A = this chain, B = another copy of it.
Amino acid sequence: MPRALLFDVFGTLVDWRGSLIDAAAAVGSERPEVEWSAIIDDWRRAYQPAMDHVAAARDDGRAPWRNLDSVQGDTLDHVLAEHAIDLSVDQRRELIGAWRRLRPWPDTRDGLDLLRAKAITATLSNGHLALVVDLLRFAGLRMDAVLSAELASSYKPNPAVYLRALELLECDPGEAMLVACHAKDLAAASALGLRTAFVRRPREWGPAGGDQPPYGLPGLIVVDSLIELADRL
């Protein structure tokens, strides 16, 4: 049994895509002709490269770290321009803020409570701390601690993020487990010696499905829900 469980948030605990498509349709309700799902998917695809860029620029001393709201503001501007859609400053701010109001998957709340009875639970999100706090309050999710890439001034999958979480929780790598629905996140954690659990989220990208389990990680657990994970541990 791990002493601490670290949870990826976007996709693993909450349905960003369904929630953001609904938020975009509400924000842009005067334009029923727009296919918001394509914009949300493009926005989400722009997210990891933009964060990688910020993390690398910070590591090289070229630019200070910036939080997710700031990164998402840039990528949203870019995606809207590519789709030739104009939204007001307030509408853009509303969409960026919608990342704090994402719906949990049906098993998330109960699964987290079952797991919290067995181990220390903490987020380990690329969302900054204030965003994750708002999101957990909105979704009614209880965690023992809110950890974020912000506390390492970096972004996953940069090793600094996982190492900072281990340091703050006073865990050796083998005492902690990352729970995520993304292969890349789990591979990075496993390379540092953390244990890993992959949660299938087949609706993460809507009709396009979800990520497949990473290949060849020693001891990887694969489950369909957090409740199944609590049973397995």
Chain A contacts to B: CB under 8 angstroms: 120, 122, 128-130, 133-134, 136-137, 142, 144-146, 150-151, 168-170
Contacts and interface: CB of A to CB of B under 8 A. Distances in A.
A168 B130 contact: yes
Contacts of A136: 144
Interface residues of A, dominant DSSP = helix
Contacts of A150: 168
Contacts of A146: 144-146
Contact of A142 (B133, B142, B151, B169): B142
18 contacts: A120-B133, A120-B134, A120-B137, A122-B133, A128-B168, A129-B145, A129-B169, A130-B168, A130-B169, A130-B170, A133-B144, A133-B145, A137-B144, A142-B142, A144-B146, A145-B145, A145-B146, A150-B168
Contacts of A129: 145, 168-169
A75 B152 CA distance: 30
A108 to B, nearest CB: 17
A130 B120 CA distance: 10
Contacts of A130: 168-170
Q: Which of A120, A150, A168, A169 has the most CB of B within 10 A?
A: A168
A4 to B, nearest CB: 9
A221 to B, nearest CB: 23
Nearest to A123: B145
Contacts of A145: 129, 133, 145-146
Nearest to A150: B168
A169 B120 contact: no
Contacts of A137: 120, 144
A137 B130 CA distance: 22
7 tightest Cβ-Cβ pairs between the two chains A and B:
A130-B170, A129-B168, A145-B146, A133-B145, A133-B144, A130-B169, A120-B133
A169 B129 CA distance: 7
Contacts of A120: 133-134, 137
